[in-house]
Each structure stands twice: as C-alpha cells, then as structure tokens.
Chains A and B, each alone.
Chain A
Amino acid sequence: MTEYALILVSTVLVNNFVLVKFLGLCPFMGVSRKLETATGMALATTFVLTLSSVCSYLANEYLLAPLGLEYLRTITFILVIAVVVQFTEMVVHKTSPLLYQVLGIFLPLITTNCAVLGVALLNVQTQHGFIESGLYGFGAAVGFSLVLILFAAMRERIAVADVPVPFRGPSIALVTAGLMSVAFMGFSGLVKG
C-alpha cells in the first residue's frame, strides 16, 4: 500500500512530468492561456493517460514480451495511444455531449502529447505491474493537470499585469514556467523526510 502511495506522490509532486521530467511541454505552453481550456485539457489528459498507460502495459506484457518483440515497443505504444484516444473521443461524444463540448479539440490533440508515450515507456523501463502502471499513469496525469491549471491561473494574472516590454508574451510565460520548475524541485526533499 505504501508503495502505491509513494508512486502517486512521486509522480504528482517529486518527479512531476512537466516540471521535472520536461515531458508534455507543448500542451503546457499551448493551452495554458485560459483557465477554462486548461481545465478541459487537464481532464481529457487525465482520462487518456491512465487508460493508455494500462493498455500499453497489457500490449507489452501479453503481446510483445511473449513473442520477444520488445523492440517494437515504441510503434506499438503509439498505435495503442492513438486508438485509445480515438475510442475515448467516440464514447465521450456519444455518452456525454456536455463533456465532449468542454474537452472539444483537446481530446484528439492528446495523441501527440509526449507525456503519454513517456509514461508508457517508463512503465516498461521501471517494470511496473498492472496496478502500478495504472497508478503511475494516473499520478502522472494528476501532476500534469495540477501544474497546467496552476500555470494557466498564473498566466491569466500575468496577462493583465504590467510586464516590461521585452518580457511580454511567451518570454514571461517561459520565465514563469522555469520558476515553477525550481519551486517543484523543493518537493524532492519530501523523500528523505
């Protein structure tokens, strides 16, 4: 049980995918301009990341490993992720039009989120089991959501702040992201304590 809790804390805070591992930076910069869209993206990513983490674990464990085809991991995982995203989009569109409207364009965009593939590959590297894979994916997604929403809220305030001209636009966003990353490094102290 402690192990599972540790995985969650580790992925959400200590080894945050965006700020510490630097994965999934494009949605992090791209859709963080408004809090509302950031929330939609966070929700969609949480869903897909958890699901694809589990699915790629299954594909690796029951298809690639028995056949000795580990070298096909990347392409298989990409295939799995694309299908999971597409399938999720269809199901959400059918079952919850409201959620579909909130998630909107972000759902298909997740296919190209490198954090999704990163989680799948790291699962294999660290030899996670079924539940661990799911937790790892979920934790990564929660970490991503947390950072994305915090960052979007900050950018909304920065948008109305009096920023010096040379720093306006993406520059101040990147500076902010850097500072956030530094702040998140403080969480690595959690492990020793």
Chain B
Amino acid sequence: MLSAILALTALAVVFGLLLGFAAVRFKVEADPVVDQIDAILPQTQCGQCGYPGCRPYAEAIASGEADINQCPPGGEAGVQALADLLGRDPKPINPEHGEIKPKMVAVIDEQLCIGCTLCIQACPVDAILGAAKHMHTVIEAECTGCELCVPPCPVDCIAMVPVKTEIATWKWPYPESLPEDQPTSLADLLTGGAAGRGA
C-alpha cells in the first residue's frame, strides 16, 4: 500500500520535474513581428481588411499574405507605422477595404431599441450591454467604432457618431496632419477649443 503511494508519487514528481524543465528549456516565443504589427493595428476587430480581426490580419501581413494598406481605421498613420516597421514603402489605403473616417462610436437610440440582442451578437468587443426584450446601450469607452452592429439592427436605431474631443479622448496630433478644427494643445482644449485659437 505504502509502496504503491510512494511509487506513484515518485513517478508523478519525476514527470512533473521533466515537464517543468521542458517548459523552460523548450519555451517558444511567439513571432515577435506579429506582436509588433498587432500593436500598431487599431484593434477595432472590424474585419474590413478581410480577416476576422486584427490579430489574423497581423499574421497575414507577417506571412506576406496581405498588404499593409488594408486597414482603414488605422488610417494613413497606421500604414506609415507599418511601412516603417516592415521596411516597405507606404501606400494609400486600398479603397476596396473602405474609406478612412474619423473615429466613431455607436450610439443606440434607446427609444427605438426593441431589445432583439442582434447587435450584441455582432459586437466583436462586447461593448453593447443589454438583454432580450430589454433596452440595449453601448459602453462608449469599449466601442471601437467598427460599425458591425449597424447592419444587423432591424429597427435602424444605431447611429455612428464621431467621438467628441474631450480631455479624456484628446491625443497629440501627428505633426504632419494638424487638423484645423481640433484643439492642438491641452491649453486650447481647456480654454474653449481650437475656435478660440483660430479667432
């Protein structure tokens, strides 16, 4: 009895050590290029590139299967960053995959929503909250603006609204593309936006 327990324990310990050693010795780092590409992509998971999400698109770029100009949400800046990373020439976004739009969020008109849950199923990032026959709403901070929830809605109660620039959402603009109507510094933003600067 005792020897049985000891033998099995010993066997388990030996195997455990062996596997532990193997886990360290044969550790595999995931392809770092894929990770770097994935970090540049905007993570909208919108599928406009033709791949089911940003990670598969990153893998396709890394394997040379896809071009770098298939990501409209990433915009020209995204293509530029990918071109720098991969040492390729930047090129304009392929219009086949959609056009560049300002960052949007989905807003559900709660008066019209019938609680069908179709948009919840479509959302790739689980940003829509609600239950069957109950009103749904969008968690704005989670929404990536991918527009995948718009077509399934049977009552067309989802609208895409450009994100308003607020202190929480303001980002440093890229140097070459200073838009006129956007506050370019935090001070502008606090004192009433770019309108004040233009005047």
Binding site for B on A (CB under 8 A): 59, 63-64, 67-69, 72, 75-76, 79-80, 83, 86-87, 90-91, 93-95, 97
The answer, among A67, A87, A93, for a CB contact under 8 Å with B19, is A87
With A83-B19, A86-B19, A87-B19 as known contacts, state yes or no: A59 contacts B11, CB within 8 Å: yes
User: Which of B20-28, B64-72, B89-97, B159-167 lies on the face that meets chain A?
Assistant: B20-28
Is the contact region of chain B dominated by helix, strand, or loop, or is it mixed? helix
Inter-chain contact B8/A94, CB cutoff 8 Å: no
The answer, among B7, B8, B11, B28, for a CB contact under 8 Å with A93, is B28
Q: Which residues from B are CB-within-8-Å of A64?
A: 7
Please report the C-alpha to C-alpha distance between residue A75 and residue B5 in the assembled complex, in whole angstroms: 12
Q: Which residues from B are CB-within-8-Å of A95?
A: 26
Please report the C-alpha to C-alpha distance between residue A63 and residue B22 in the assembled complex, in whole angstroms: 23
Inter-chain contact B26/A94, CB cutoff 8 Å: yes
Q: Number of B interface residues, CB 8 Å?
A: 14
Inter-chain contact B15/A83, CB cutoff 8 Å: yes
B12 within 8 A of A: yes
Please report the C-alpha to C-alpha distance between residue A90 and residue B18 in the assembled complex, in whole angstroms: 11
Q: Which residues from A are CB-within-8-Å of B18?
A: 83, 87
Q: Which residues from B are CB-within-8-Å of A91?
A: 22, 26
The answer, among B7, B26, B27, for a CB contact under 8 Å with A69, is B7
Q: Which residues from A are CB-within-8-Å of B19?
A: 83, 86-87, 90
Inter-chain contact A67/B7, CB cutoff 8 Å: yes
Interface residues of B in 1-39 (CB under 8 A from A): 3-4, 7-8, 11-12, 15, 18-19, 22-23, 26-28
Determine how close the nearest CB of chain B comes to the CB of A183; give it in whole angstroms.
Answer: 41
Show 22 residue pairs from A and B whose CB-CB distance is below 8 angstroms, ordered by the A residue. Answer: A63-B7, A67-B4, A69-B7, A72-B7, A76-B11, A79-B8, A79-B12, A79-B15, A80-B15, A83-B15, A83-B19, A86-B19, A86-B22, A87-B22, A90-B19, A90-B22, A91-B22, A91-B26, A93-B26, A93-B28, A94-B27, A97-B28
